[in-house]
Amino acid sequence: MALKTPQEYLDDLRKMNINLYMFGEKIENYVDHPIIRPSINAMAMTYKLAQDPEHEDLMTATSSLTGEKINRFCHLHQSPEDLIKKVKMLRLLGQKTGCCFQRCVGMDAFNAVYNTTYEIDQANGTNYHQRFVDFMKYVQENDLAVDGCMTDARGDRSKRPGEQPDPDAYLRVVERREDGVVVRGCKLHQTGMINSHEMLVMPNNTLKDDEKDWAICFAIPVDTPGMIYVYGRQSCDTRKLEGGDVDTGNKYFGGQEVMTIFNNVFVPNERIFMNGEVEFSGTLVERFAGYHRQSYGGCKVGVGDTLIGAAKAITDYQGVSKASHVKDKLIEMCHLNETLYSCGIACSAEGRKTAAGNFLIDLLLANICKLNVTRFPYEIARLAQDLAGGFFVTMPSEKDFANPEIGSLVKKYSTSRSDVPVEHRQRMLRLIENLTMGCAAVGYLTESMHGAGSPQAQRIMITRLVDLEHRKELAEKLCGVKENTDVDWK
């Protein structure tokens, strides 16, 4: 099986034994839970579009390991064109779901671990890379959704992993056996974790020689014994329990964030891809972060497209679309969104081949991309709220509209244009609320800020990667402070 159908994916989830808690209670049937199911639907879309001939070029690729047709989310990038198609694929999925579809974290982890394990083996004579190749073949042949795990609980941020009062603040090895290791700790903000088949775990930091226990990279099934999951709260999440679909905004899809606890979990040797090689921990972190920062030039742009569309729709519904300031704001939203997309395409086009054979994005431009993503979606959201008007946060609930005593009055005073059904206005305003304040805002705004590292993380990388001395020398040559040997004609 090279490509799963959405139904086969759902069948897989139903077979898994997940130890999940939400609102203080253990959840048994999470696949059909009304709060969780929209996020599963979003992940299922990554399977549906891969079956669609119209999107085959973006959604599928030829495996460099097996030669078979596979889902692009399981692919190891083989060219700048692959990197560009990745960004275009993510934009498409953002447009189709209007939320985080959760599968790109694993894809970005695949590519970072692939080239990093190759370099570890070259330096140390280990066999991590072949183990990882075997794992990737398994993932590709079964079209598995894999969640990438990097962010630890981190405890006291002023202290390194090895200095924490509680050493479990960063996931670590607590026992070493002949056949594997036992790990303990917690990974936070895990997007789509319980919607995945497997997880690929990486260290969170550049580590020192006395921090080998924290330099661990491995893959395990999501339902491995000892794993505990706690579902994250999102704004307006309980609206999904109310029975209607107008007030949820996004009728079909949603995101997911999970606290992922490793409570003395065994990892077999064949699933370990780094074990104490602290000198490569920083390389793995930087490469994964780079790939994931590239992703934001696609996924957040696609969601931005839906928000721009909602803003356009509501100005039409409310009869203000011809006003010049409305047109200006919509164009500004498009300008900001396409700028983000341009950054994602640029860092892809400038990608280079690694020693392992897969392609790495231009790290500087990927960090520029993500730093812009920490800003522009917030301005896009602000403009959308401006165009929506205050009614998008003061509008009564859909149950008030349906109430036999007051419903007719609520509808009467919620009418805008007479030729636009009141319900259309309701739904579009709720979608804008969802994207800028509700559940989808986690996948659009909060992820834009903190996903793949907060703004300071990008600034640190930009500082490392930008050659300011070279730029200084360019200026000095032009103004005559330094000799300009390029001008050698008379």
Q: What is the pLDDT of residues 159-172, one digit of tens each?
A: 999 999 999 999 99
Residue spans of beta strands (DSSP E) within 23-97: 25-27, 60-62, 69-71
Alpha-carbon span 64 to 478, nearest angstrom = 47
Same domain, 258 and 327: no
Let me know if 447 is a catalytic residue.
yes
Under 8 Å between Cβ of 148 and 196: no
Let me know if 369 is a catalytic residue.
no
Same domain, 370 and 267: no
Burial class (CB in 10 A: 0-12, 13-18, 19+), 432: buried
Cα dihedral: 156, 160, 164, 169 (round 10): 70
Query: Is residue 319 in some structural domain?
Result: yes
Number of domains forming the structure of the chain: 2
Which of 74, 149, 299, 347 does the annotation list as catalytic? Answer: 299
Let me know if 81 is a catalytic residue.
no
Q: What is the pLDDT of residues 184-202, one digit of tens each?
A: 999 999 999 999 999 999 9
Determine the number of helices (DSSP H) and then strands (DSSP E) in the chain: 18, 14
Under 8 Å between Cβ of 46 and 90: no
Q: Which residues pair with 176 in a beta bridge?
A: 181
Query: Is residue 86 in some structural domain?
Result: no
Last residue of a domain, one of 280, 310, 329: 280
CATH code assigned at 48 = 2.40.110.10
Which of 191, 248, 260, 315 does the annotation list as catalytic? Answer: 191
Same domain, 327 and 462: yes
Which of 257, 277, 398, 433 does the annotation list as catalytic? Answer: 257
How confident is the model at residue 362, as a pLDDT?
98
How confident is the model at residue 465, as a pLDDT?
96
Last residue of a domain, one of 280, 307, 325: 280
Residue 490 binned pLDDT confidence (cut-offs 50, 70, 90)? confident
Q: What is the pLDDT of residues 281-293, one digit of tens each?
A: 999 999 999 999 9
Higher per-residue pLDDT: 1 or 340: 340
Same domain, 20 and 154: yes
Alpha-carbon span 327 to 312, nearest angstrom = 9
Same domain, 214 and 291: no
Parallel/antiparallel/unpaired status of strands 216-221 and 198-201: antiparallel
Segment 355-363 shows an average pLDDT of 98
How confident is the model at residue 1, as a pLDDT?
63
Let me know if 292 is a catalytic residue.
yes
Total Cβ atoms within 10 A of residue 242:
14
Percent of the chain with pLDDT over 90: 98
Query: Is residue 238 in some structural domain?
Result: yes
Return mean pLDDT, the chain. 97
| DSSP character string of 130-161 | HHHHHHHHHHHHHT--EEEE--B--SSTTS-G
Last residue of a domain, one of 252, 280, 308: 280
Q: Is the pLDDT reported for residue 2 higher than 90?
A: no
Let me know if 236 is a catalytic residue.
no
Same domain, 265 and 344: no
Same domain, 290 and 399: yes
Same domain, 184 and 309: no
Which of 114, 170, 296, 444 does the annotation list as catalytic? Answer: 296
Q: Give how far the C-alpha of residue 121 lies from the chain's centroid of Cα atoms, to the nearest Å.
A: 29
Model pTM score: 0.97
CATH code assigned at 389 = 1.20.140.10
Same domain, 271 and 175: yes
Query: Is residue 112 in some structural domain?
Result: yes
Same domain, 230 and 308: no
Question: Domain range for residue 142?
Answer: 6-55+65-78+105-280
Let me know if 191 is a catalytic residue.
yes
Alpha-carbon span 31 to 24, nearest angstrom = 18
Which one, of 146, 115, 286, lies nearest residue 205 by Cα? 286
Which one, of 260, 149, 194, lies nearest residue 33 by Cα? 194
Query: Is residue 366 in some structural domain?
Result: yes
Q: What is the pLDDT of residues 12-67, one digit of tens each?
A: 999 999 999 999 999 999 999 999 999 999 999 999 999 999 999 999 999 999 99
Which of 104, 149, 217, 343 does the annotation list as catalytic? Answer: 104
Query: Is residue 236 in some structural domain?
Result: yes
Q: Is the pLDDT reported for residue 117 higher than 80?
A: yes
Q: For residue 275, what are its two tokens?
A: 């074990």
Let me know if 347 is a catalytic residue.
no
Which of 129, 277, 292, 439 does the annotation list as catalytic? Answer: 292
Same domain, 125 and 205: yes
How confident is the model at residue 262, as a pLDDT?
98
Same domain, 262 and 346: no
Query: Is residue 89 in some structural domain?
Result: no
Parallel/antiparallel/unpaired status of strands 172-177 and 216-221: unpaired
Cα distance between the two ends of the chain: 69
Which of 74, 99, 100, 343 does the annotation list as catalytic? Answer: 100
Encoded amino acid at 328, one letter: D
Q: What is the pLDDT of residues 385-414, one digit of tens each?
A: 999 999 999 999 999 999 999 999 999 999
Percent of the chain with pLDDT over 70: 100
Q: What is the pLDDT of residues 292-308, one digit of tens each?
A: 999 999 999 999 999 99
Residue 381 binned pLDDT confidence (cut-offs 50, 70, 90)? very high
Q: For residue 156, what are its two tokens?
A: 């006291």
Query: Is residue 237 in some structural domain?
Result: yes
Q: Whats the size of the chain, residue-wise? A: 490
